[in-house]
Amino acid sequence: MDKTTFLPDETDIQAYVDGWLDEAGCKRVEAWMDHHPGRAAEIRGWRHDAQALRATLGGLPDSASALRLDPAAIRAHHQHCVRARLAWAAVLVLTLGVGGIAGWQMRGIDAPARPPPMADAVQAYRLFAMSRHVPLDVTQQRPGELQAWLDKYFPDAASLPDLAASGFLPVGGRLLATDSGPAALVLYKNPSGGAISFYIRSPAPHAGMLARGQRREGQLAAAYWSGNGYNYALVARADPSNLRILRLDSRR
Amino acid sequence: MADPDIDAQLNEVLPRLRRFARWLTRDTNSADDLVQSTLERALSRWRTRRDDTVLRPWLFAIAYRQFLDGRRRERRHARMLELFRGQAATEAPSVEREVVAHSVVQALERLPEAQRHLLLWISVEGLSYREVANLLGVPVGTVMSRLSRARIALRRLSGGGISQAHTLRSLK
């Protein structure tokens, strides 16, 4: 190629400055620069500046100080936030649900009617034991884990009922917000997929302790009682074997 | 793609992303804040990313947009403060009044931000002209002409090149 007829364009010159041209490309540009000393001085200056910047600023930050920038940690934090938002959404659903039921039952009644005892426990059973879409806060991986979890939020409360003799084992728990303050639901399952829930919360203000009792609501049955400053309920589908468990366990 | 694979890819680019963020924010802590929010956004948008998109420029583009958004918020805030104080925020020192810098890096510090970014991205980070064009949302030709102007300005401020004699004279 005739060196005097090669005319580098802007991209050739900049790529030469940044050292991106291959050897042949460099030689072509340098040959052209030999015939254009004015531009050549400027381009050599640019090349010098680019090299100086690379040499001075080309170092990478120390990675030791970047623990909070670990993608796995950021991902875990993000998922935690999503779960927390879902948890709050479910709590709102429950809180609204309890109010809605109470409102429905007051329909057409002049005197303010009280909702049936532990109506929120039955509502919580519907939400968590009968729906597959609402996640639990904790799942039991080791025996005793759910008891420890419950003790954290409801100190001095009665222990979780032991339903193992009836084939039901605790699988997970969930904290809830109610008009009477925080509540918790612990879900028990048996091998055939049956579910019983244990529910605990503080008594409603001015309501006092709860007289021991049982009631039916649709297909569900609830047994309820008080003790150690809390109200409790066991809720299950109202079939004969479940009713026997509720009767036995709420009397312990 | 499994999460550990994604994390491994991100970790590989992380040092360069942090350096890129430092050039933008010029402060280590704010740079890492920017990197963190960039990674959060990248992870939440990973599925929308086309497979053929190269990871580094994609992350840089997210970081740059976040940086510009933050900058706009700061400006709005500054304007609000001005209304209360009744005075304008001080402008960056004029390039014209600058004396000759002692080194190329000092000269770089005195360049207008856009020119400084351009030189860092291309000469130090090694982004291609096409990648820079995409980042800024301008044609490649515009990048080339801006790059020439940035290099001329850097030469002038560092006391090199054709304008050196003129710069020195003006100091007398």
Considering chain B, what percentage of its residues have pLDDT values greater than 90? 44
Residue B171 pLDDT > 60, yes or no?
no
Query: Is residue A117 included in any domain, yes or no?
Result: yes
Q: How far is B150 from chain A (nearest CA, A)?
A: 10
Indicate if B79 and B142 belong to the same structural domain. no
The answer to whether the complex's ipTM is over 0.90 is no
Token readout for A14 is: 């900049």
pLDDT value at residue B5: 85
B9 CB-contact burial (10 Å; exposed 0-12 / middle 13-18 / buried 19+): middle
Q: Please determine, for residue B52, whether its predicted confidence score (pLDDT) is greater than 80.
A: no
Residues A217, A98 share a domain? yes
Do B26 and B61 share a domain, yes or no?
A: yes
Model-level pTM greater than 0.80? no
Q: Are residue B97 and residue B85 in the same domain, yes or no?
A: no
Question: Mean pLDDT over residues B134-153, rounded?
Answer: 94
Tracing tokens 């026997």 back to the chain, one arrives at: A244
Indicate whether B165 pLDDT > 50. Answer: no
Element (H, E) at A223: strand A220-227
The two tokens of residue A181 are 């303050």
Cα A183 to the chain's mean position, in Å? Answer: 19
B36 and B71 in one domain? yes
- Cβ-based neighbour number of residue A78 at 10 Å: 14
The structural domain count of chain A equals: 2
Contact at 8 Å (CB) between A245 and A165? no
On whether both A124 and A239 belong to a single domain, the answer is yes
Inspect the interface and report whether the beta carbons of A75 and B154 lie closer than 8 Å.
Answer: no
Q: What is the CATH number of the domain that holds A229?
A: 3.30.200.100
A75 shares contact with chain B (CB less than 8 Å): yes
Closest chain A C-alpha to B70 CA, distance in angstroms: 19
Confidence at residue A46, expressed as pLDDT on a 0 to 100 scale: 94
A and B: number of Cβ contacts within 8 A = 103
Q: What radius of gyration, in Å, describes the C-alpha atoms of chain A?
A: 36
User: At which of B42, B75, B90 does a domain end?
Assistant: B90
What digits encode the pLDDT tens for the residues B21-41?
999 988 888 888 899 999 999
- Rounded to the nearest integer, the mean pLDDT of chain B is 81
Choose one of A57, A83, A103: the last residue of a domain. A57
Percent of chain B at pLDDT above 70? Answer: 77
The DSSP secondary structure of B90-136, one letter per residue, reads PPPPPGGG----SSHHHHHHHS-HHHHHHHIIIIIS---HHHHHHHH
Q: CA-CA distance, A43 to A17, in Å (whole number)?
A: 7
Same domain, A201 and A123: yes
Q: Quick check: is A98 in a domain?
A: yes
Q: Could you report the average pLDDT of every consecutive run of 10 residues in chain A (252 residues)?
A: 71 92 93 93 93 87 73 81 66 54 48 71 85 74 88 87 92 82 89 92 79 90 91 93 85 62
Q: Measured between alpha carbons, how far is residue A40 from residues A13, A32, A47, B148 in Å?
A: 10, 9, 10, 14
Is A72 in CB contact (< 8 Å) with chain B?
yes
Note whether B102 and B84 are same-domain residues.
Answer: no
On whether residue A78 sits in a domain, the answer given is no
Distance CA A159, CA A96 (A): 29
Residue B65 and residue B102 in one domain: no
Q: Are residues B100 and B49 in the same domain?
A: no
A44 and A129 housed in the same domain: no
| Set of chain A residues whose Cβ sits within 8 Å of the Cβ of B22 | 61
Residues B80 and B97 in one domain: no
Shortest CA distance from B46: residue in chain A: A75
What's B137's domain CATH number?
1.10.10.10
Residue span of the structural domain in which B156 resides: 91-172
B-chain residues within 8 Å CB-CB of A10?
141, 144-145, 148
Q: Are residues A190 and A110 in the same domain?
A: yes
How far from B141 is each of A46, A83, A211, B79, B151, CA to CA, in Å? Answer: 19, 48, 84, 35, 15
Chain A partners of B108 at a C-beta cutoff of 8 Å?
Answer: 53
Number of structural domains in chain B = 2
Reported as a single tens digit per residue, the pLDDT across B153-162 is: 999 988 774 4
CATH number at residue B7: 1.10.1740
- A21 vs B49, more confident: A21
Neighbours of A118 (CB within 10 A): 25
**Domain match, A245 and A163 both:** yes
Cα–Cα distance measured from residue A38 to residue A94, given in angstroms and rounded to the nearest whole number: 80
Domain end among B45, B63, B90: B90
pLDDT at A64: 58
Using CA atoms, how far apart are residues B23 and B163, in angstroms rounded to an integer? Answer: 27
| Distance between CA atoms of residues B141 and B122, nearest Å | 14
The pLDDT score that the predictor gives to residue A142 is 84
User: What's the pLDDT at A57?
Assistant: 87
Q: What is the pLDDT of residue B161?
A: 47
Torsion angle of the four alpha carbons A127, A219, A222, A108, in this order, in degrees rounded to the nearest 10:
90
Give yes or no for residue B44 having a pLDDT over 90: no
pLDDT tens digits along A154-170:
888 889 999 999 999 99
Q: Is there a single domain that holds both residue B8 and residue B71?
A: yes
Residue A102 lies in a domain: yes
Containing structural domain, residue A47:
23-57
Domain membership of residue A13 (yes or no) is no
What is the rounded CA–CA span in Å between residue A144 and residue A155?
15
Mark whether A37 and A101 lie in a shared domain: no
Residues B95 and B115 in one domain: yes
Do both A128 and A191 map to the same domain?
Answer: yes
* Amino acid A231: pLDDT: 92
pLDDT reported for residue A4: 54
The answer as to whether A38 is a domain residue is: yes
Report the candidate in B98, B119, B121 with the shortest Cα–Cα distance to residue B110. Answer: B98
Domain final position from B90, B109, B127: B90
Residue A166 within a domain: yes
* Partner residue facing A74 (CB), from B15, B36, B145: B36
Whether B83 and B123 share a structural domain: no
- In Å, how far from its chain's centre is CA A213? 36
User: For the segment B71-122, what is each residue's pLDDT rounded down to a tens digit?
Assistant: 888 887 777 766 666 554 444 444 444 455 568 888 898 899 999 999 999 9
Q: Are residues A52 and A96 in the same domain?
A: no
> Which residues of chain B from 42 to 101 reach within 8 Å of chain A, CB to CB?
43-44
- Assess whether A47 and A134 both reside in one domain: no
Same domain for B4 and B85? yes
